Amino acid sequence: MQCEHERGPALNSFTTTVRWGLPRIAFKYWFRSVGMSLAFVTVLLSGAGAHDDARPAALRDVAFDQKLNQQIPLDLSFRDETGARVELHEYFGRKPVILNFVYYKCRDLCPLLLDGVVRTLRAISFDAGKEFNVLTVSFDARDDAALAAAKKQDFVKRYARQGAETGWHFLTGDQAAIEKLTRAVGFRYQYDPQTGEFGHATGIVLLTPQGKTSRYFYGIEFSPRDLRLGLIEAAASKIGTPIDQLLLFCYHYDPVTGKYGLLIANVIKLAGGVTVLLLGGFIFAMLRRERSHASANGGAA
């Protein structure tokens, strides 16, 4: 029979691992819980969109529809960050393209979207300009090349990959070109003349080298693995399948007078409560498991 002093180190090692590992495990679980809660927020907001009366006026016609296998008009003319006139076909033909829409004066979700794109691109082995191109297009016709150049300088610097300047392009255009491109990929936004800002959803679209929509990713955070596989499929001109829409809406609302502000505040409170409950339940389960293991090992003495 095994003696107590022979079993003691193993039991102590397990207990120490649980006790010291618990904060790290709990933090990891908490981080995932926050992500789940944010997804829950987006679901509720998307659900609210099903009833136009639940949305503020600036969001009632906002959507990001999936138009898979849709050919975008490659003859559209825009201006790049240098102010030079370019046509979309110049960025196609040999590589897949990651397309995203922002407006450069946005202070809400647009910078978060671009930041999420940067982090995801840095996590994959493919390089912008080599295996794929990135097109960031402003849907605000008032944006100019100077704003586009400032955004490019900032995010290319964050991306920090050699040759990124030739692979990531920031475009501006007139209203007609913007509407044709956004309509082709299902990106519907709305301008609020009272605030001078836009209501819109966030996400990215993968396009084949021929300029057809291959796959959609919604939100501001993207799985590096999924994006890498999506790029491989798009490079082979494969068209993906529709995915569930979990839309994040960008709109600068008035929390004092706007119903939208009250809705978001309540949903975030609810999501926070769910996160606390999940974390508390996890810690309780881990502590109970530790006591069970300790009792089992003690009973075997």
237: alpha, beta or left? (left if phi > 0; alpha if psi -120 to 50): left
Question: CB–CB of 227/214 below 8 Å?
Answer: no
Q: Is the pLDDT higher at 152 or at 295?
A: 152
pLDDT of residue 124: 97
φ and ψ of 72, to 5 deg: -85, 150
| DSSP conformation class of 123 | T
Q: What's the pLDDT band for 254 if we cut at 50, 70, 90?
A: very low
Which pLDDT value is given to residue 217? 95
- Please give the Cα distance from 242 to 137 (Å, whole number): 23
DSSP string, 247-297: PPEE----TTT-HHHHHHHHHHHHHHHHHHHHHHHHHHHHHHHHHHHHHHH
- Residue 253 clears pLDDT 50, i.e. is over it: no
When pLDDT is averaged across residues 109-129 and rounded to a whole number, the result is 95
Rounded CA-CA distance 236/231 in Å is 9
Helix axes 259-299, 4-49, angle to 10 degrees: 160
Q: Are 133 and 98 in contact (CB under 8 A)?
A: yes
pLDDT tens-digit series, residues 43-83: 444 444 444 456 666 567 788 999 999 999 999 999 999 99
The residue ranges of DSSP E strands in the chain, in sequence order, are 63-64, 77-79, 85-87, 97-102, 133-138, 168-171, 187-188, 190-192, 197-201, 203-207, 213-218, 249-250
Residue type, 296: A
- Binning pLDDT at 50, 70 and 90, where does residue 292 land? confident
- Report which residue type is found at 48: A
Q: Choose among 212, 123, 119, 133: nearest CA to 170.
A: 133
Q: What's the predicted TM-score (pTM) here?
A: 0.67
Q: Which residue has the higher pLDDT, 14 or 135?
A: 135
Contact, 97 vs 108, CB < 8 A? Answer: no
Count Cβ atoms within 10 A of the Cβ of residue 127 and give its class: 0-12 exposed, 13-18 middle, 19 or more buried. middle
| Cβ-Cβ contacts under 8 Å for 264 (sequence gap 6 or more) | 41, 45, 253
- Hey, what amino acid is at 221? E
